[in-house]
Amino acid sequence: MSSLQMPKVDDAIMSKKDKIASELRGIINSKNVLSSPDELRPFETDGLTAYRQMPLLVVMPETVEEVSQILKYCNENKIKVVPRGAGTGLSGGSMPLEDCVLIAMGKFNKIIEIDYENRCVVTQPCVTNLAITQAVQDKGFYYAPDPSSQIACSIGGNVAENSGGVHSLKYGATTNNLLGIEVVLMDGTITRFGGKAMDAEGYDFLGLMTGSEGLLGVITEVTVKILKSPEVVKAALVGFPSIEDAGNCVAQIIAEGCIPAGMEIMDKALTKATNDYSKAGYPTDAEAMMIIEFDGTEHEVEAYIHKAKEIAEKNNSSSLKISKSNEERLKFWAGRKAAFPACGVLAPDYMCMDGSIPRGKLAEVLNEISRLSKKYNLPVANAFHAGDGNLHPLIMFDANDKESLRKCEEFGADILKYCVKVGGALTGEHGVGIEKRELMCEAFNDKDIQQQLTIKVALDPNSLLNPGKVYPILRKCAEEGRVHVHGGKTKFPDIPRF
Amino acid sequence: MSMEEKQNSQTSLDFNQNIFKPSSREEIVEIVKNCYRKNIPLEINGLKSKNNIGRNFQSEKTLDLSDYRGIIDYKPEELYIKVKAGTPLKEIVEELDKNNQQLAFEPNDFGYIFSGESNSGSIGGVVSCNFAGSRRFKVGSVRDHILGFQGINGKGETIKSGGTVVKNVTGYDLSKLISGSFGTLTILTELSIKVLPKPETSKSLIIKNPHLKKALDYLGKGLSSSTDPSGGVFYPEYFGRNFILNDLTHDGGLTAIRIEGPINSVDQRLNRLSKELSLLSQEFSILDNEQSNIFWVRTKNLEVFNSLKSNLLRIVVPISETLQVIQKFKNYEIKYFIDWGGSLIWSSFDQLNTKILEEIKNIVKKHQGYITLIKVEEDLKASADIFTIDPIKYKISEKIKKSFDPKRIFNPGKMYTGI
């Protein structure tokens, strides 16, 4: 496993562990301060399992006042703090530091208010993404952003990472569906940004906090908007003889003015692997397979599906199936959603990348990935949120072979650098965390990064809140770890990842 | 000649002038660096269409960005346009029209209320003010469509954030932070904006109805239905007459709900919506695409307040509070209409003074909303807070301002005293 440089451990803090634990037990219920190795072990990693580190202590506050007092105490005593929601993040955003107090928000697990009149839900941050939809679906509403880990990931974590999902093409990511948050700053200040009234005036701190990966504050309450569920949802399953044809089809669908709810592409390797794994009935002879989903009223969906079909045919589609029932539609998705475990069958280990590219560069980028695959002599399978240009290559390797891991990490970094080169981004939805930290200089120059760091220092002058994440420590484009899965076992093997 | 003056003389810039009108980024950088060194505050202008919004403040020099304009890159199939910040909105809209695309956030045109004619301003101004039109509740605000930007911070450093792709979570989302910052954080130079296809058709259900309570009921039901509306407004009796359209069969108060999409779908949804709202055929009319577009453009332009003599306030509250807020305004001479499906109140106040303003602010605050003073008489403007802020957020804002503009040279005091 690669080593990862983290901020220097403060020996003075390490030596005061017992004293700090005792003082924290004076602030919150003593049973909510965890200090023995057995108690700390479950918190040593998040969804980026390649990296593990036991924290100094774990605290599990129950109220916003407790969060405030913990942060104030840590700020005054210069103790590093790492916030954590459900711990499903894929970029290591909540990986502990050796000398940190980890704030586990798990006890903030209640929905506070369902407000149909204002079409929003006010909730504590550790309620899962899916639980919000489940709480309102009997009235025909849902919460739109749907990261694939939605059965387990917390809404607070979604805010911290600005999580997306298959349907963010039409409905946006977390930031576009968020109305307000309550947040505690490192000095213990409790404040609210946004609320039930849209676009609070003044600087958009709500927007700044969203996707700030736990570096600027600890989220203690979230208000999200909910939408009326679409009446009809239909999907088309299309095979193409080449990646180019599939890419052109995507571009034309968008250019024609249809915005599907979701548009996914898998390459031949992944189509075959997922089909073998889930028996989804995919066209395994096709070089690229696409799922196009539309939602809305019946006429609307019919009109768009018809248009998409025409465009697919114009672009040489080799097969095309339209879902006749909701069951069939879900079957189309079953394979796609099993992409990660299916790869687990192909190789002992794989790493999932998360680059974002202009839609039109799909074929070019996939060709480059294929070239790199030959260069590094490692197989790769590609899944792609084609509608919004978010690419997830899965690089297969063997972690027991150090050379294989080194090559895999180099390969991954080369892919992300190429994404940036063609006008894309290092990360579309997984966040930078520790994973892509040292690649930030590919996307930003020193001045850009310095501006961001100045904001960080303005709100957290001692850089105690989640240090060592997002911004480069080494200041060189070193290759770091990716989502590393061994023997098909992720941290939460039952959570779909795509 | 001092060293500094020698450096300056290497370009065509004359630092003795009071108005800078740069046409290149290099010139802007040089101006800012100079002002930073000398502590010279700058008023930053685009096309001045919203120049009257915000506090009055003193600045020695003006930076006029109207020559820093032009479309840098437009990729219809990638759904983005990259422009220089001084580009007129009109020019962008015309370019998008050619590809049947649009800026879905339909920004307000404040020209009518200030000068009686259209003046939609520059894109930099639109982003800096973050005032979105009727589609807000469906597609988000201006800030939701900014994919990335390049700007100059208060030290004269060129910084960027985001990019041109929609999915991007690399670093802090500064595009949000600069939206609605009224030019107090950076001088915007380039903006990458998400564009969307225009809907195949757009029609509107116009309900004859003079009562606010009933209107809010219609809007609430409409927006909570699966008919997916993209606009919802209420105009009281006194404004109904402002809309003379062929298919508008009455001239009183009206509630309008817009439905957009493929033609068949729009008709189906309109039909369903009128049923769900239990409307009798004589209670409503349908505006076709062309008339519907005229109606919503007039709404976006605040045309019912054309050449307004009195004050105009922009009040945002949760939908559930709108009725009570308006009822509490009954002691004042007001004319209002409701946008954003019930949560945005545009209201003129005939007599506004510091005391009344305080009362109004307290009412709105109590109902979890906020007020922005869009147009106020000069006397009041000098004494009143245009924007409202609590002490905690003021402190945070102060820190953020300092992180971008340490010497407070960009629009100092435009939003708040000391920021």
Q: Could you tell me the pTM of the whole model?
A: 0.94
**A361 occurs within a structural domain:** yes
Q: What token pair was written down for B188?
A: 């915007």
Both tokens of A318, joined, read 């080799």
B106 assigned to some structural domain: yes
pLDDT at residue B105 greater than cutoff 50:
yes
The C-alpha of B151 sits at a distance from chain A's nearest C-alpha, in angstroms, of 10
pLDDT of residue B415 exceeding 90 = yes
Q: Are B22 and B42 in contact (CB under 8 A)?
A: no
Domain final position from B139, B164, B198: B198
pLDDT in tens, B120-169: 999 999 999 999 999 999 999 999 999 999 999 999 999 999 999 999 99
- The answer to whether residue A3 sits within a structural domain is no
Is B154 a member of any domain? yes
H helical segments located in A28-111: 37-40, 64-76
Q: Are residues B286 and B320 in the same domain?
A: no
B233 contacts: CB under 8 Å, gap ≥ 6: B134, B255, B256, B299, B337, B338, B339
Q: Same domain, yes or no, for A128 and A179? A: yes
B25 and B174 co-located in one domain: yes
Measured between beta carbons, the chain A residues lying within 8 angstroms of B108 are: none
Burial A105-120 (b: 16+ CB within 10 A, else e): bbebeebeebbeebbb
Confirm whether the ipTM is greater than 0.90.
Answer: yes
**In chain A, whose CA is at the least distance from the CA of B342?**
A118
Give me the residue from A424, A425, A451 closest to B159, CB to CB. Answer: A451
How many pairs of residues across A and B have Cβ atoms under 8 Å apart? 254
The answer to whether B400 contacts A458, with C-beta atoms less than 8 Å apart, is: yes
**Minimal C-alpha gap between B244 and chain A (Å):** 31
Q: Which residue has the higher pLDDT, B330 or A258?
A: B330
- Pairwise pLDDT comparison (B100 vs A405), residue with the higher score: B100
Model confidence pLDDT, tens digit, residues A91-147: 999 999 999 999 999 999 999 999 999 999 999 999 999 999 999 999 999 999 999
Give yes or no for residue B295 having a pLDDT over 70. yes
Domain assignment of residue B65, yes or no? yes
User: Exposed, middle or buried: residue A3 (CB in 10 Å: 0-12, 13-18, 19+)?
Assistant: exposed
pLDDT in tens, A290-327: 999 999 988 889 999 999 999 999 999 999 999 999 99
- Look up residue A68 and give its two tokens: 């405030």
Give the CATH number, domain containing residue A401. Answer: 3.30.70.2740
Q: Are residues B183 and B228 in the same domain?
A: no
Q: Which residues of A touch B172 (CB under 8 A)?
A: 208, 211-212, 216, 452, 455
Domain end position, chosen among B261, B278, B300: B300
Name the residue among B78, B137, B174 with its Cβ closest to that of A359. B78
Interface test with B, best of A203, A459, A466 (most B CBs within 10 A): A203
Name the residue of chain B whose CA is nearest to A423's CA. Answer: B164
Residues of chain A with pLDDT under 70: 1-3, 474-498
Same domain, A386 and A429: yes
Contact yes or no for A197 and B225 at CB 8 A: no
* B177 and B123 in a common domain: yes
In a shared domain, residues A377 and A481 = yes
Residues A187 and A163 reside in one and the same domain = yes
What is the pLDDT, as a whole number, of residue B5?
A: 46
C-alpha distance from B400 to closest chain A C-alpha (Å): 6
Contact, A265 vs A236, CB < 8 A? no
Chain A residues whose beta carbon lies within 8 Å of the beta carbon of residue B171: 432, 440, 443-444, 448-449, 452, 470-471
Tell me if B28 is assigned to some domain: yes
Q: Are residues A378 and A446 in the same domain?
A: yes
| Domain CATH number, residue A288 | 3.30.70.3450
Query: Is residue A1 in some structural domain?
Result: no
A258, A373: one domain: no
The CATH number of residue B236's host domain is 3.30.70.2190
Q: How far apart are CA A78 and CA A218, in angstroms?
A: 17
Mean residue pLDDT across chain A: 91
Same domain, B207 and B194: no
The mean predicted confidence, pLDDT, of chain B is 94
Q: What is the pLDDT of residue A489?
A: 52
Residue B289 pLDDT exceeds 50:
yes
In-domain check, residue B410: no
pLDDT over 70, % of chain B: 97
Number of domains in chain A: 4
Candidates B128, B145, B172, partner chain A, best to mutate (most A CBs within 10 A): B172
Task: Give the pLDDT score at B383.
Answer: 85
- Asked whether residue B291 is domain-assigned, the answer is yes
Q: Which of B133, B163, B198 delimits the end of a domain?
A: B198
Same domain, residue pair B68 and B175: yes
pLDDT digits (tens, 9 = 90+) for A151-179: 999 999 999 999 998 889 899 999 999 99
The predicted structure's pLDDT at residue B16: 86
Closest partner residue to A119 (CB to CB) among B224, B372, B396 is B224
Where on the phi/psi map is residue B397: left (φ > 0), alpha (ψ -120 to 50), or beta?
alpha
- B78:A358 CB<8 A: yes
From chain B, the residues in CB contact with A297 under 8 A are 226-228, 265, 268-269, 272
A160 and A220 inside one domain:
yes
Domain that holds residue A299: 232-337
3-state secondary structure of B302: coil
- Domain contains B390: no
C-alpha span between A283 and A267 (Å, rounded): 11
Q: Do B264 and A299 touch (CB under 8 A)?
A: yes
Residues 6+ away with beta carbon under 8 Å from B395: none
Q: Which of A117, A195, A449 sits opposite B368 (nearest CB)?
A: A195
Beta bridge partners of A121: A114, A224
Whether residue B288 sits in one domain with residue B163: no
- Which chain B residues contact residue A212 at CB under 8 A? 172-173
CATH number, domain containing residue B320: 3.30.70.240
Among A426, A436, A455, whose Cβ lies nearest the Cβ of B172? Answer: A455
Partner-chain residue, chosen from A199, A304, A389, that has the shortest CB–CB distance to B166: A389
> Is A231 in Cβ contact with B226 (below 8 Å)?
yes
Residue A5 lies in a domain: no
Q: Which of A337, A356, A387 is the last residue of a domain?
A: A337
DSSP assignment, residue A366?
H
Same domain assignment for residues B78 and B92: yes
In chain A, which residue's Cα lies nearest the Cα of B269? A297
| CB spacing of A176 vs B196 below 8 angstroms | no
C-beta of residue B370 within 8 angstroms of C-beta of residue A197: yes
Nearest CA in chain B to A185: B396
Chain B positions touching A458 (Cβ under 8 A) are 399-400, 402-403
| Contacts with A211 from chain B: Cβ below 8 Å | 169, 172-173
The residue out of A58, A87, A104 marking a domain boundary is A104
Structure tokens given for B254: 């009206």
pLDDT at residue A486, as a whole number: 52
Query: Is residue A350 in a domain?
Result: yes
Same domain? A138 vs A210: yes
Please enumerate in sequence order all residues whose Cβ is within 8 A of that of B160, keeping only pairs 6 or more positions apart, or say none.
A444, A448, B148, B149, B150, B151
Mutation for testing the B interface, residue in A64, A141, A201, A362 having most B CBs under 10 Å: A201
In terms of domains, do A157 and A91 share one? Answer: no
SS3 A459: helix
Q: Which amino acid is at B375?
A: K
Q: Which pLDDT belongs to residue A345? A: 81
Q: Contact, A96 vs A87, CB < 8 A?
A: no
> Domain range spanning residue B327?
303-383
Same domain membership, residue B245 and residue B120: no
Number of H helices, E strands in chain B: 15, 18
Give the residue from chain B lying closest to A118, CA to CA: B319
What pLDDT, on a 0 to 100 scale, did the predictor assign at position B398? Answer: 97
A458 and A352 together in one domain: yes
Q: Which of A49, A77, A104 is the last residue of a domain?
A: A104
On whether both A363 and A450 belong to a single domain, the answer is: yes
**Given this model, what pLDDT does residue B241 score?**
81
**Nearest-CA residue of chain B relative to A162?**
B169
Domain membership of residue A6 (yes or no) is no
CATH code, domain with B13: 3.30.465.10
Distances (CA, A) of B174 to A201, A428, A429, A460, B103: 16, 16, 16, 17, 20
Report the residue of chain A nearest B157, measured CA to CA.
A447
Q: Which positions in chain B touch A428 (Cβ < 8 Å)?
A: 165, 167-169
B193 and B77 share one domain: yes
Residue B153 to residue A231, Cβ atoms within 8 A:
no
Residues B402, A458: C-beta atoms closer than 8 Å: yes
In sequence order, which residues have a C-beta less than 8 Å from that of residue A445 and are 6 or more positions away? none
For the domain that residue A146 is a member of, what is the CATH number?
A: 3.30.465.10
**Cβ pair B227:A297 closer than 8 A:** yes
Residues in chain A: 498
Q: Is the same domain home to B234 and B307?
A: no
Whether A257 is in a domain gets the answer yes
Residues B48 and B79 in one domain: yes
Residue B175 lies in a domain: yes
Comparing alpha-carbon positions, the chain A residue that sits nearest to B102 is: A257
By C-alpha distance, the chain A residue nearest B186 is: A451
Q: Given an 8 Å threshold on Cβ–Cβ distance, is A211 in contact with B172? A: yes
Specify whether A414 is located in the same domain as A456. Answer: yes
Nearest chain B Cα distance for residue A61, angstroms:
23
Indicate the burial class of A433 (C-beta count within 10 angstroms; 0-12, 13-18, 19 or more).
buried
| Option in A162, A259, A448 nearest B160 (CB) | A448
Across the interface, which of A161, A259, A455 has its CB nearest the CB of B197? A259
Q: To probe the interface with A, which of B75, B97, B159, B168 has the most A CB atoms within 10 Å? A: B168
| Nearest-CB residue to B268 (from A297, A440, A470) | A297
Mutate which of B82, B143, B165 to test chain A, going by most A C-beta atoms within 10 A?
B165
Q: By CA distance, what is A299's nearest residue in B? A: B265
- Asked whether residue A4 is domain-assigned, the answer is no
Give me the residue from A189, A304, A447 closest to B158, CB to CB: A447
Q: Report how many domains make up chain B.
A: 3
pLDDT in tens, B351-402: 899 999 999 999 999 999 999 999 999 888 888 888 889 999 999 999 999 9
**∠ CA A336-A338-A341 to the nearest 5 degrees?**
140
